[in-house]
């Protein structure tokens, strides 16, 4: 389902988020990664945290997601209060298709480049399982589902609701770990496709990244998996 759904109703470059959509509540970042040229990955949320593309061709990129080569490519998002302060929880979402054996490669990361423990992290561990962590790795959950199919588009969602860290894979819960401490923001930027250093880059396609300043419910996550661009039957973009 995921590989089919990600291609359905994909927005054109320049699309805007429908902020009247229920799932747009406290949306802090939305990168459709549909730019076929240029130097920036546009953030379509109201905050405009545009990312700087590194290592990608300047023109002729595929419309359906960006290909990360595992060696030179990543997207740097500058630090901003909107992606650093989360008093009510947080949700990280990414649609990815790995194209190589995944061993401790980064999908999303915010923190100091020389330190592996960041504000928030979504990565694929050496076990090929997804690790979600917050607050300098004091809040960590490792999923049970391995990322092993290089022909599958995975929908990965990590949340923190001021009580537990939860992981969802392809719309289904993949466990949680209790944690009750408020998140402490840092002044460091974020990365898409890299985990704290250039040695931990992602290889494969990343199609869509979104961040919320709240923890989505299980039903909301399922709606995003069923239809990432038109959840609940309503357009998420204009």
CB 68 within 8 A of CB 74: yes
pLDDT in tens, 105-138: 899 999 887 777 889 999 998 888 999 999 988 8
Per-residue model confidence (pLDDT) at position 1: 46
| pLDDT number for residue 3 | 58
- In sequence order, the β-bridge partners of residue 134 are 120, 139
Low-confidence ranges of the chain (pLDDT < 70): 1-5, 101-102
pLDDT of res. 4: 60
Question: Is the pTM above the cut of 0.85?
Answer: yes
Q: What pLDDT score was predicted for residue 99?
A: 85
For the chain, give percent helix, strand, coil, nearest 5: 10, 40, 50
Assigned token pair, 167: 């992981």
Residue 5: per-residue pLDDT: 67
């Amino acid at each position: 389902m995921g590989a089919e759904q990600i291609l359905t109703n994909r927005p054109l470059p320049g699309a805007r988020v429908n902020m009247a959509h229920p799932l747009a509540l406290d949306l802090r970042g939305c990168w459709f990664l549909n730019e076929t040229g240029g130097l920036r990955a546009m953030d379509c949320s109201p905050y405009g945290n545009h990312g700087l593309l590194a290592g990608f061709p300047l023109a002729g990129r595929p419309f359906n997601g960006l290909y990360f080569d595992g060696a030179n490519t990543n997207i740097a998002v500058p630090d901003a209060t909107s992606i650093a302060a989360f008093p009510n929880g947080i949700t990280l979402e990414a649609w990815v298709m790995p194209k190589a054996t995944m061993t401790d490669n980064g999908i999303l990361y915010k923190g100091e480049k020389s330190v592996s423990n960041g504000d928030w992290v979504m990565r694929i561990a050496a076990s090929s399982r997804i690790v979600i962590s917050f607050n300098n790795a004091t809040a960590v959950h490792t999923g049970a589902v391995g990322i092993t199919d290089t022909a599958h588009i995975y929908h990965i969602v990590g949340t923190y609701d001021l009580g537990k860290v939860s992981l969802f894979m392809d719309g289904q819960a993949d466990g949680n770990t209790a944690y009750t401490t408020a998140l402490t923001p840092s002044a460091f930027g974020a990365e898409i496709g890299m985990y704290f250093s250039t040695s931990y880059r992602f290889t494969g396609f990343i199609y869509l990244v979104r961040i919320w300043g709240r923890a989505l419910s299980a039903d909301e996550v399922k709606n995003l998996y069923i239809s990432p661009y038109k959840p609940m039957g309503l357009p998420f973009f204009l």
